[in-house]
Amino acid sequence: MYTQVSQEEASDVNAIINSKYKVVEPIARGVWGIVMVVRNIFTNELFAMKKLYGDDEVLNESLRCAWAMKPIMTHPNILNTRELFLHRNTDLTRQSDVALCYIMRYYKNQDLKSLLQKTRDRGEFLSEKQIYRYMLQLSYALECLHNHGFVHRDLKPSHVMISDDFESLYLGGFGMSQPVDQIQEQQMTSSMFKYLSPEVVDSIERKVTPESEVWTLGCIFFEMITLQIDERNLYMDWKMKGCDSFQEEIKNEILSCGFSEQLYSIVGGMLQEKPERITLDVLVQQIRGTLNYPKQIVDTMCAVCLRARHEAVSSVDSQ
């Protein structure tokens, strides 16, 4: 099992990790790990480092998962792990000894959750064009993961990093990801419950599937549009209220924020109560169709994504 992060680990500023990275400051501290800004002492570049503590079994499993996911790390909308190594504390007074360290590019704007919160605090909404661009990128990222035979299992806005110019998104947080054919019962956390699809909420085993992740992504898009950043599970909330039509409810909420019917119809296709929802490749086509840029710009924006997509599809085909 994972080991809890000790208090002093969070304030370990200036420590040198792996003879290469100097800790600058902690960014976020979870129960089992800590994310911090580190500086490469040879190049002076800043990186984010996630340090995960656990017993041998957990660390081995995390390593296996990271290795299996290596092919998707080249996707332009996936948070790339640049380096992965085990770090052993030499300070014997410490409770935990071995940690798995992930080195990633450092995104100073952090994540989609904080962007949505800040936008809401300013009393604004994201623009419809920006929403479509973000939707396209996240759909590509999830499609790539699914095409490689994985489900994410922990999709949420805080697992989506944002580029410094706010143009690009990167999906991360793959710690719970599993191959589709080996999905195990889901260990629930409150942040996961919010995004569970109707069929997963209603099941005993709570097994996430690619179809249920289309729903989850739909919830994230709904949140991006309406900025309703609370802990409610959309479907459960609607059931409790006893309203007539779930789709009508979603539609009204999207339109009342000033967005178009077209945007609703895309998100509505994802938030279908039955698992027969819109597929990610159709979704991508629909979003591309609505992005009203000259074809050339859309093509440039999507070129790398498409290349990765085709590579993913052909690697699945050739198996």
Ligand X SMILES: Nc1ncnc2c1ncn2[C@@H]1O[C@H](COP(=O)(O)OP(=O)(O)OP(=O)(O)O)[C@@H](O)[C@H]1O
Binding site for Mg ion (CB under 5 A): 173
Residue 54 or 210 with smaller CB distance to ligand X: 54
Binding of residue 33 to ligand X (CB under 6 A): yes
CB of 173 to Mg ion, least distance (A): 4
| Amino acid sitting at position 115 | L
Sequence-ordered strand ranges (E) for the chain: 16-17, 21-29, 33-40, 46-53, 81-88, 98-105, 150-151, 160-162, 169-171, 178-179
Helix, strand, coil percent content, the chain, rounded in steps of 5: 45, 20, 35
CB 160 within 8 A of CB 172: yes
By DSSP bridging, strand 33-40 and strand 46-53 are: antiparallel
Range 236-253 burial, b when 16+ CB lie within 10 A, else e: eebeeeeeeebbebbbeb
Positions in 41-100 near ligand X (CB under 6 A): 48, 50
- To ligand X, the closest distance from the beta carbon of 112 in angstroms equals 9
| # residues near ligand X by CB under 6 A | 19
Among 30-38, 195-203, 235-243, 267-275, the segment contacting ligand X (CB under 6 A): 30-38
Binder of residue 35, out of Mg ion, ligand X, none (CB less than 5 to 8 A by kind): ligand X
**28: partner contacted, choices Mg ion, ligand X, none (Cβ within 5-8 A by kind):** ligand X
Our finding on whether 175 is near ligand X (CB under 6 A) is yes
Task: Give the 3-state secondary structure of residue 231.
Answer: coil
Query: Which stretch, 56-64, 170-178, 272-280, 296-304, contacts ligand X (CB under 6 A)?
Result: 170-178
Residues that bind ligand X (CB under 6 A): 27-28, 30, 33, 35, 48, 50, 104-107, 110-111, 158-159, 161, 172-173, 175
